[in-house]
Amino acid sequence: MYLLVNIIGVLVFLGIAFLFSKDHKHINWRSIIVVLVLNLVVAYLLTNFSLGRDLVKAIAGGFQWLVNVSYTGIAFAFPDWVHVKQMNFFTSALMPILMIVPLFDILTYFGIMPFCIKWIGRGMAYVTGQPKFESFYAVEMMFLGNTEAMAVSSLQLKNISAKRVLTIAMMSMSCITAAMVGAYAQMVPGQYVLTAIPLNILNAIIITNILNPVRVTPSEDVIYQIGGSSTADEQVAEETVADRPEKPHKEPFFSFLGDSILGAGKLILIIVANVIAFVALAALISKLLGLINPWLSLEHILGVIMFPFAWLMGLDVNHAFQFAQFMGTKLVTNEFVVMGQIAPHINNHHFFNPHYQAQLTVFLTSFANFSTVGMIIGCLKGIVSRDKNDFVSKNILYLFLSGILVSLMSAGIVGLFVW
């Protein structure tokens, strides 16, 4: 009975995405079916075999190593920010951008990053039916995180259409950073954290393809390079040589690197300003609601709204209501708040049966919340044109809806294989 409800739940989540689709006629159903089947296969392998989890763990370790190297530079300037028991959000999540963005910009400068995007994206595009850049971005954000992935893909974002930028923003709601994997695994079952990572990416492709289907012609499905034949007015490094105006050239390497570092610094300030504002405004709304009734808050309201979807996970009514409250808290605050609440009991099957344990862990393993919306909008402000940023800002509800549906889909699919 509960398995049947779980299956119906997955179909309902897809139906909600279809209901709110911006363009029903151009949904690529072949791509969605292929990725959905791949989703089920990956979920089965990761929940029943350790080999797949070991592979994901190894990739996560590589990105974690990169982040740890960036902490070395931060510690040189601010040792008391790094050498602490628990680094704050600014240090752990944003400061690494100062190294990661210039590193990937260097790879872009020498043509390595466009080469990787082209061939990895081509392979993923062949499987998923999505454009090369969107396909590569899905892999890139698996561990790099939303703002970092967007920052290192700035050249592509500057040149693609506003609708494609919206797709990237929607996908970015469903990722995590490699630096968080170890922290998550200390509080909730690590095998389900690692299972959630690839499932979130596959479901992000499915949900964004339904909510915001975009037709990309072969001439648009290109990977841009510095000094290449893309929109010159949007590329700092692409300038015109006076005596040979038809041949753009790259600016000197260290000038380019300096611009990259300064750009990363400005990006951090924009992101942190937006995060503080979004979180504070959400808290203000909750406080104002509390003046009407002490029980009222954004967390509780969202918890009530999410109850039917929690029940569709294949849970009994009591567990579904508790799950919905955890959902509401996570969406308004962040996943760490809920993980801290459940950490003492999450491995006790008297409190959390295996099905509930797996689904709750997977649902929590993403950055989908109000503050992430602020991070994405802030990041795009520092990268794309005002028109593109305004277009994304007008579709904030789609960002939030995408993040919720991807988390529900991932949790629902994992639930099919864990009882």
Q: Best-predicted range by mean pLDDT among 215-219, 271-275, 399-403?
A: 399-403
Identify which has the larger pLDDT, 139 or 156: 156
**Angle 291-371-380 (CA atoms, 0-180°, nearest 5)?**
140
The token duo for 338 is 């809920």
Residue 234 predicted with pLDDT over 70: no
- Tell me the percentage of the chain whose pLDDT exceeds 70: 86
Query: Which residues constitute the domain of residue 282?
Result: 2-415
How many structural domains does the chain have?
1
Rounded to an integer, what distance in angstroms lies between the CA atom of residue 142 and that of residue 155? Answer: 19
Identify which has the larger pLDDT, 124 or 60: 124
Contact 339, 362 (CB under 8 A): no
Q: Best-predicted range by mean pLDDT among 95-104, 182-191, 371-380?
A: 371-380
Residue 17 predicted with pLDDT over 90: yes
The token duo for 237 is 């490094």
State the DSSP code for 250. Answer: P
Q: What is the pLDDT of residue 240?
A: 33
Low-confidence winner among 125-129, 249-253, 254-258 (lowest mean pLDDT): 249-253
pLDDT in tens, 97-118: 788 778 877 877 787 766 776 6
Rounded to an integer, what distance in angstroms lies between the CA atom of residue 120 and that of residue 124? Answer: 6
Q: What is the number of other CB atoms lying within 10 angstroms of the CB of residue 380?
A: 28
The token duo for 155 is 């050249």
Low-confidence winner among 116-120, 138-142, 310-314 (lowest mean pLDDT): 116-120
pTM of the shown model: 0.75
DSSP character string of 241-296: ETTEEEEEEPPPHHHHHHHHHHHHHHHHHHHHHHHHHHHHHHHHHHHHHHHH-TT-
Rounded to an integer, what distance in angstroms lies between the CA atom of residue 43 and that of residue 313? Answer: 15
Chain centroid to CA 195 = 15
Identify which has the larger pLDDT, 121 or 17: 17
